[in-house]
Amino acid sequence: MSGRVLVGVKRVIDYAVKIRVKPDRTGVVTDGVKHSMNPFCEIAVEEAVKLKEKKLVKEVVAVSCGPQQVQETIRTALAMGADRGIHVEVSGKDYETLGPLQVSKIFAALAKKEQADLIILGKQAIDDDCNQTGQMTAALLDWPQGTFASEVSFEADKLKVVREIDGGLETIKINLPAVVTADLRLNTPRYATLPNIMKAKKKKIANVKPADLGVDVCSRLEVLKVDEPPQRQAGVKVETVEDLVGKLKEAGRV
């Protein structure tokens, strides 16, 4: 057991920004727009750092795939307490079409290379909302997965994960090595302290190319067009419950 945790951190458009679709409808405007770490990735980093503080794991490695700018995101993870970073360089068209399948292949390759015992990812990214990377990574590695985790603990040599599911909470015990994806209530991410921001500067970020890991980042998907969601239409007020049921039947909803 290496005691090493890989944490994926994705650079996304900041949650507070008003998203605008590009005039050519090929995507959203990203130039000059504020970006930050995906909130679920923050929760993942926080959990990994907490495990290290409890001495349940030895090393936290923050990984991000993308162009030069993702180094900021890795540095934020380092400032939160990760020990070192890995920047997987993907840029240009490859970055635009980068999706869960390619990222999970990259993570699987890195997990083998770094001999990781645990991978913690956010459950989904707030830009594509795919909710696939964790699951695909586990499948590629043939590792057990504990997704939508709201609680993670070690029990002997197994991992106990409490999962948030539609019906409530499900508790599972899985063998290590494993993949865990973080849900909202797993923890409250810390603000980086000033001393840790300074220490982050000295921590190493290694550069790696997907080809070095034997991964082909070519996408099988083609985005045809991107549109704004339909404008919200005015609603209709009704007087009685019968009217409401009548209207719903009219609209074919009941």
Partner 1 sequence: MAALFKARRALGMVVGHGVRCLSQLAELPELHQMMRQTCRDYAQKELAPIAAQLDKDHKFPAKQVKELGAMGVMAVEVPESLGGAGMDYLAYCLAVEELSRGCASTGVIVSVNNSLYLGPILKFGTEEQKKQWITPFTTGDKVGCFALSEPGNGSDAGAASTLAQQEGDEWVLNGTKAWITNCWDASATVVFATTDKSLKHKGISAFLVPMPHPGLSLGKKEDKLGIRASSTANIILEDCRIPLGNMLGERGMGFKIAMQTLDSGRLGIAAQALGIAQAALDCAADYAHKRTAFGAPIGKLQAIQFKLADMALATESARLLTWRAAMLRDAKKPFTKEAAMAKLAASEAATFVSHQAIQVLGGMGYVTDMPAERHYRDARITEIYEGTSEIQRLVIANNILKEYQQ
The residue ranges that bind partner 1 (CB under 8 A) are 72, 75-76, 79, 191-195, 197-198, 200-201
Beta carbon nearer to partner 1, 81 or 210: 81
Contact 58, 2 (CB under 8 A): yes
User: CB of residue 39 vs partner 1: minimum separation in angstroms?
Assistant: 12
Is residue 152 within 8 Å of residue 144, measured between CB atoms? no
Minimum gap (Å) between residue 56 Cβ and partner 1: 22
Question: Cβ of residue 16: shortest distance to partner 1, in angstroms?
Answer: 8
Closest approach of partner 1 to the CB of residue 197, in Å: 5
DSSP assignment of 94-142 equals HHHT--HHHHHHHHHHHHHHHT-SEEEEES--TTT----HHHHHHHHHT
Residues in the chain: 254
Closer of 80 and 217 to partner 1 (Cβ)? 80
As measured in angstroms, the least distance from the Cβ of 124 to partner 1 is 21
DSSP 153: E
- Please give the Cα distance from 84 to 151 (Å, whole number): 25
Q: What are phi and psi of 134, to 5 degrees?
A: -60, -50
CB of 204 to partner 1, least distance (A): 15
Residue 67: φ, ψ to 5°: -80, -170
Closest to partner 1 by CB, 72 vs 216, is 72
Nearer to partner 1, 6 or 79 (CB): 79
User: Which of 188, 240 has the CB closer to partner 1?
Assistant: 188
**Which CB, 45 or 200, lies closer to partner 1?**
200
Q: Supply the DSSP string of 34-103, one letter for each residue.
A: -EEE-HHHHHHHHHHHHHHHTTS-SEEEEEEEESTTHHHHHHHHHHHT-SEEEEEE--THHHHT--HHHH
